[in-house]
Structure 1
Amino acid sequence: MKKILGSLSTVAVLISCGIAGGTVVEAVSVGSLNSNADISFSQDTTITQPVNPTDPTSPVTPNPNDPHQPGTGGPLSLDYVSNFHFGTKAIQTSDATYYAQLDQVQNATTTLISVPNYVQVTDKRGLNLGWKLTVKQNGQFKTGASTPAVLTNAQMSLVAATPNSTQLIALAPVTVPVLLDPSGAASSPVATAALSTGIGTWTLAFGSGAGAAQGVKLTVPNATTKVANDQYKTTLTWTLNDSPI
């Protein structure tokens, strides 16, 4: 009886291995069919919400007490630009340097938090063509009087911005220090994303960590006439081009 069981076990092993009488049995194809797969894309033209420049995973909203223009929207967009506030300073008897206050934005709980002054750019074109950001000061600081007082030759400068994103740092745009033309005659480069870089959302913070407190500087010569108890203002125009050239 044991011999019969042993023989049956051997046959079962041979069959399970596809072997019968020393011949290997192979499966034979009896036909085939092709199927299709496809996808298409559309441009995302919605406005990208600002994010915290120190934590790009955290959305923020502008300070409601400090009005900002909304983001430009579109596949390549300028989402947010800080306003630069230097506050009220005592008149000096020598050349003086002042630093812009940190920007304040609202976090998810609408609490105001301080962050570095920054610009935010989003590239969702899908073409990886790169881009270039420039800024121009629209004339010198001056008062709002009918005959305005001008803060002659007062010059703003920005440290080279620190890029931040949820994207790989290898895709970061290249930034340079910015020296603004107070006359408004020329634009200054801020950041350039070469081909295949600058993809996704990038914050460009003027200073990081403790250095953020000195990221935006205004230098006022001693010889410049200064009117007390009046506010001097100017505007900046930030321009985003769809090519790094």
Structure 2
Amino acid sequence: MKKRFAVSTVLMSAALVLGTTTVWATTSTGTSTAKITFTTNEAPVIVDPDSPDPTNPYDPTGNGGNTPTGNTGPLTLDYAPNFDFGSNELRLDKSLFQAIDQKPFLQVTDRRVNPTQWEVTVKLGDFNDEGGNPSLAGSTLSIDAGTVQTLINVTGFTAPTTGDITLTPGDAGDAQTILASAEGTFSTWQIYWEGNGTDNDFIKLNVPVNVQMEGTHTATLDWTLTDVVN
């Protein structure tokens, strides 16, 4: 009887020790972070207006176009087009000339954290002949509304709007709005004035017959992107 009692006591003691260990178990915790930084230090990619794919940069200079601006920051004018009206025989019965450019476009990129309205205006300087003298007085440059488009697979933002404009050379107050957003438009946007294979129906220069002179005449277009304060 005594031996059996002793064994029973040992087993009961072991059970009590195990129970005590379970009751006093503890949990340890900690915290860490996941971090990413975005910058706007590089100029946005220029995209092909025929297939606006941001993974396939487009070089407009290789297609007779203008040099990209290289502008950096959260809201940028990336590219503005040249307009070439070609070589024309002087005729006394023709005053309207169409651009010969087949792929002119304007590109703006909005990468702002708190986007607001913005607009692009353009004005036309005086025409000058090859000697730097003023020329083609009374001319007007008409730019009709082109196609407004954005990058592939970018949705959820209201597209900017455009419309027909007419510019008078040398008029300091003649800046016209060519593209405008009613609200923030986080994306890259373009106006595309696609040619018809020979001329461009969207871009026209009206030169009075009596001021047409032999030689090349050049004017500067100034394009300005402005963040509109709401």
For the 8 Å contact 2:157–2:184, the answer to whether it is kept is no
State the AA in 1 paired with 2:114: L
Q: Equivalents in 2 of 1:95, 1:212: separation in Å?
A: 16
Change in Cα spacing, 1:83 to 1:38, as seen in structure 2 (3 Å) is same
For the 8 Å contact 2:47–2:58, the answer to whether it is kept is yes
1:193 aligns with 2:178: no
1:214 aligns with 2:218: no
Structure 1 unaligned runs (5+)? 1-29, 104-114
Structure 2 unaligned runs (5+)? 1-25
1:43 to 29, 39, 44: 39
2:119 to 110, 113, 132: 132
Change in Cα spacing, 1:232 to 1:208, as seen in structure 2 (3 Å) is closer
CA deviation digits over 1:124-163, x for unaligned, max 9?
Answer: 1122213110001122x220215x2510111101111311
**4+ residue runs over 6 A deviation:** 30-34, 208-212
Q: Equivalents in 2 of 1:237, 1:206: separation in Å?
A: 18
Change in Cα spacing, 1:86 to 1:69, as seen in structure 2 (3 Å) is same
User: Could you tell me which residue of structure 1 aligns to residue 137 of structure 2?
Assistant: 152
Q: Larger deviation: 90-99 or 117-126?
A: 90-99
TM-score normalised to structure 2 length: 0.75
Q: Equivalents in 2 of 1:32, 1:83: separation in Å?
A: 67
Deviation at 1:243, TM superposition (A): 2.0
For the 8 Å contact 2:124–2:221, the answer to whether it is kept is yes
For the 8 Å contact 1:206–1:215, the answer to whether it is kept is yes
User: Could you tell me which residue of structure 1 aligns to residue 221 of structure 2?
Assistant: 236
Flag the structure with larger Rg.
2
User: Could you tell me which residue of structure 1 aligns to residue 105 of structure 2?
Assistant: 118
Q: Give the count of matched residue pairs.
A: 199
Q: Larger deviation: 35-44 or 210-219?
A: 35-44
State the AA in 2 paired with 1:205: Y
Change in Cα spacing, 1:119 to 1:66, as seen in structure 2 (3 Å) is closer
TM-score normalised to structure 1 length: 0.70
Q: CA RMSD of the aligned region, Å?
A: 2.8
Change in Cα spacing, 1:208 to 1:34, as seen in structure 2 (3 Å) is farther
Q: Equivalents in 1 of 2:216, 2:144: separation in Å?
A: 25
Q: Equivalents in 1 of 2:220, 2:229: separation in Å?
A: 25
For the 8 Å contact 1:194–1:244, the answer to whether it is kept is no
For the 8 Å contact 1:133–1:192, the answer to whether it is kept is yes
For the 8 Å contact 2:84–2:100, the answer to whether it is kept is yes
Which aligned pairs between 1:154-169 and structure 2 lie closer than 5 A?
154-166=139-151, 167-168=154-155
SS of the residue 1:77 aligns to: strand
